[in-house]
Amino acid sequence: MKIGIIIGSVREGRRAGAVAQWVHDAAAGRDDLDAELVDLRAFDVPLLTTETLPMAANRSYDSPGVAAWSRAIDACDGFVMVTPEYNHGVPGALKNAVDSLGPEWVGKTIGFVSYGADGGVRCVEHWRSIVANFQMLDVRQQVAMSLFTDFDGAGLAPLERRATELSTLLDQLADLTAKVRGTG
Ligand SMILES: Cc1cc2nc3c(=O)[nH]c(=O)nc-3n(C[C@H](O)[C@H](O)[C@H](O)COP(=O)(O)O)c2cc1C
């Protein structure tokens, strides 16, 4: 099964890249997942201005960036969303990119790795209600990293227990994805 690890910040100097790489390193050591980084910044998804609703676009998009983003998401069976929290909610660029597609998300699985002053827990609660609209299946386990204890001056420095939390998240994601695909 192919799991896309979405780098959910497009900001210069973002923390998301290091967090996503940490997730990828853990996923790459498993033989039940084929993990791939999906970097939102690489797709240059424009603000959604199209008249046709993405859910009704039949995967046909005017923007080359959206078309490439569509292919990348379509290729995955499930996702780990690496997401910061912005103003107690989800980051706008990532929400816009999620809104810009439709069927590419439907019925797939997702787990959340968040970070922020309070671990990004508020934005993940927000994400869970958003992805429900695509009938996505979200796993319970979350990795919620604190800006104060999981990062240091050099960057990401996760607490020891985070590796176990991530392992549980990946276990749940692999199990749920296999069930959805009818292989587990
Ligand atoms: C626009 C903006 C709003 C933010 N709001 C919050 C917030 O509500 N809660 C929080 O914990 N951190 C907040 N932060 C701090 C982010 O958690 C921190 O900057 C983090 O590194 C952002 O992720 P990124 O570096 O991958 O973009 C905010 C940051 C930005 C840029």
Full DSSP string of 93-148 = HHHHHHHT-STTTTT-EEEEEEEETTTTHHHHHHHHHHHHTTT-EEEEEEEEEETT
The mean pLDDT of 43-55, rounded to a whole number, is: 96
CA distance 183 to 120: 33
CA distance 96 to 93: 5
Q: pLDDT of 97-119, one tens digit each?
A: 999 999 999 999 999 999 999 99
SS3 1: coil
**Band of residue 183 on the pLDDT scale cut at 50, 70, 90:** confident
Mutation probe of ligand 1 site: the residue of 22, 85, 126 with most atoms within 8 A of C-beta: 85
Question: What pLDDT is recorded for position 54?
Answer: 97
- What is the whole-number distance in angstroms between the Cα of residue 46 and the centre of ligand 1? 21
- Kindly report the CATH number that applies to the domain delimited by 2-181: 3.40.50.360
Q: pLDDT of 126-156, one tens digit each?
A: 999 999 999 999 999 999 999 999 999 999 9
Domain boundaries, the chain: 2-181
- What is the whole-number distance in angstroms between the Cα of residue 84 and the centre of ligand 1? 6
